[in-house]
Amino acid sequence: MLLITCPWCGPRDETEYHYGGQAHVPHPETPADLTDEQWAAYVFYRDNPKGPFAERWMHGTGCRRWFNVLRDTATHEVLTTYRLDEPRPGGTR
């Protein structure tokens, strides 16, 4: 069980949240100009790092807000959480 700190509600059990996949995936500025391959890369392809990974979570039974979590995929340690309008701590995406 992960203990995740919601930026608005504080620490709560993982069961109160929904997972939303990789964070910081920018929507293409001009989707109509993309090739099928580029569009497929945007829609389906995600990073799968071993180590710190920025991902989106939603506090479903609390404030119902989306936010970002920096989690270590090898140890499941929640390194930090931050709001959607804040940059990823430590830079890069």
Partner 1 sequence: MADTGIAALRNSPAAHLAERMRAATVTGARGVTLTELPFLTMLNLRVDPGSEAAARMETALGAPLPCRCGDTTASGDRTAVWLGPDEWLVLSRSDEAPALREALGQAPGSVVDVSANRTTLELSGPSARQVLEKGCPLDLHPRVFGPGRAVSTTVGPVAVLLWQTDDAPTYRLLPRSSFADYLARWVMDAMGEFGAPEVP
Beta-carbon-side half-sphere exposure of residue 35 (alpha carbons within 13 Å): 2
Tell whether residue 84 is a contact of partner 1 (CB under 8 A): no
Binding of partner 1 by 64 (CB under 8 A): yes
Based on the shown chain and the rule CB under 8 A, indicate whether residue 10 belongs to the binding site for partner 1: yes
Strands 52-58, 66-72: pairing kind: antiparallel
Q: Which stretch binds partner 1 (CB under 8 A): 11-19, 21-29, 33-41, 49-57?
A: 11-19
Residue 25 as a binder of partner 1 (CB under 8 A): the answer is no
Q: Is 9 in the site for partner 1 (CB under 8 A)?
A: yes
Q: Which stretch binds partner 1 (CB under 8 A): 28-36, 39-47, 54-62, 71-79?
A: 54-62
Residue 44's φ and ψ, nearest 5 degrees, are: -110, -25
CB of 27: closest distance to partner 1 in angstroms?
24
Which residues, listed in sequence order, are joined to residue 81 by a DSSP beta bridge?
69
42 near partner 1, rule: CB under 8 A:
no
Contact 14, 1 (CB under 8 A): yes
Rounded to a whole number, what is the largest CA-CA distance in the chain?
43
